[in-house]
Structure 1
């Protein structure tokens, strides 16, 4: 029974267009995702090839600060952020774990072995080992979803001395702040989602006017999320990037255009080989002015894809608390040997 239930859940996950496992050959082997429809009401697919993407591109809602966009600005609800926990996947995992344990304990040969020390040759080792593997796997997934394996790493995050915003972003997140400017007021803050955040970060590191970057998780409902939690698809977060930029060098509209150039804006929950709502792409303005610029960028992108009779699905939502990712995710590709120099022309690769 447990084996059958596990197979059904797996098949539904792989085949259903609404719910299933997020598949990534870039950042993980298999990640779940939940259904979502959080765009500007523009849906379709585009012929733009994944080659255009060049590799793998990457809280609770805070009360808006002065100048921030109201939560209802996009005209649609953040469905993911409002879904109750535990998720359907957590419940399914728990049910399969219980059913597997029950089936094993009710197996006549296993009971005889436990109760009366029956010969080992009579024990159904295939069922016992298979059931044990299922119990272990689903229990591990439940542990990941609940965040029991995560640890506090915020004091280890890097600072502006290495052009990293992660340390400051961590302080903002822990304080529940959605910032609009750097602490010294010289630079503005922007947040984006562009699929796997490793590639997204490197694209922006190379852009003149971008001063510092941080990869992390945004638009979700869980505080201090871990990579494992977000990868399970149960927290509502998307992998994203937060950055400081100099508006005298690069405009927010140009940043939006850059993000849109790294994704297929007409494919929902899919960037390159990364599939799942944790890879959805979006523009997350911190101010009313940024919001207007984001909508203008979407209109430009829509005009570009209209000749293919496609529609943009990139979401535009007010920025929420941005939680930095673990230290080893920060500046990942730069540390792996890829150039982060301004205007570097080399392709962005997922690894090294």
Structure 2
């Protein structure tokens, strides 16, 4: 009986090893196909909500970057003095959507002429920026900025900055635009998703982007 079990077990063990090998290869392949674009576009809820709609984007993570303070909190960043921007890390599959395409969408989804914040949110932490981590990203970002400036016919103040450590924002900020928790807002008690829509509309984000970019505006149609 033992000899029969041993003979039968060998093919099963080999099959399992092949499956594990294929799974590991698939994981490595998936990891190799994920790239990152990090941008600051005012309220990170809005940037996250916009880019998670794009085909090829795997996820968008709200957070803080550009400053010197380690592990900053939302309160610290918005109070000023940390040097951090509200930013979003956009993870994407380059076989489905290009870095250049995402840059083009980003520049057409914010007010690139405003150096003092974005829409109703004022202060350094709400400024726009593109963060780059290598020469290829920098070249692509500068080219996208030049192209957008030509298309707009106005000076674009959005800087291209060297990437610094990115700190994910507090859990309650992630996916806020589709959250179901009840929160107290200036509009009264609302679900997070409803509060997000009310805030975005009141802040005038889409209206200003539409005014600035017209038919070329991203995410406002």
Q: Same fold (TM over 0.5)?
A: yes
SS in 2 for 1:258: helix
Give 1:192's aligned residue.
Answer: 39
Give 1:248's aligned residue.
Answer: 95
Q: CA deviation at 1:298?
A: 0.3
- TM-score normalized with structure 2 length: 0.68
1:293 aligns with 2:137: no
Q: CA deviation at 1:252?
A: 0.7
Matches of residues 1-352 of structure 1 in structure 2 within 5 Å? 184-306=31-153, 310-335=154-179, 336-337=192-193, 350=199
The Cα offsets for residues 188-247 of structure 1, whole Å up to 9 and x where unpaired, read as 111000001000100111111110111000000100001111011110000000121011
SS in 2 for 1:198: helix
Give the CA RMSD over aligned residues.
2.3
Per the alignment, do residues 230 and 304 of structure 1 end up closer, same or farther by CA in structure 2, a change over 3 Å counting?
same
SS in 2 for 1:212: strand
Aligned residue pairs: how many? 161
More helix by share: 2
Per the alignment, do residues 296 and 351 of structure 1 end up closer, same or farther by CA in structure 2, a change over 3 Å counting?
closer
Contact map agreement 1:269 1:280 (CA 8 A) in 2:
yes
Per the alignment, do residues 246 and 197 of structure 1 end up closer, same or farther by CA in structure 2, a change over 3 Å counting?
same
SS in 2 for 1:184: helix
TM superposition outliers: structure 1 runs of 4+ over 3 Å: 347-352
Per the alignment, do residues 193 and 251 of structure 1 end up closer, same or farther by CA in structure 2, a change over 3 Å counting?
same
Q: How far apart, CA to CA, are the structure 1 residues paired with 2:88 and 2:143?
A: 21
Q: How far apart, CA to CA, are the structure 1 residues paired with 2:32 and 2:157?
A: 33
Contact map agreement 1:220 1:237 (CA 8 A) in 2:
yes
Contact map agreement 1:182 1:188 (CA 8 A) in 2:
no
More strand by share: 2
Q: Which runs of 5+ in 2 are unaligned?
A: 1-27, 180-191, 202-221
The Cα offsets for residues 54-96 of structure 1, whole Å up to 9 and x where unpaired, read as xxxxxxxxxxxxxxxxxxxxxxxxxxxxxxxxxxxxxxxxxxx
SS in 2 for 1:244: strand
Contact map agreement 1:195 1:279 (CA 8 A) in 2:
yes
Per the alignment, do residues 184 and 296 of structure 1 end up closer, same or farther by CA in structure 2, a change over 3 Å counting?
same
Contact map agreement 2:33 2:95 (CA 8 A) in 1:
no
Q: Which runs of 5+ in 1 are unaligned?
A: 1-180, 339-346
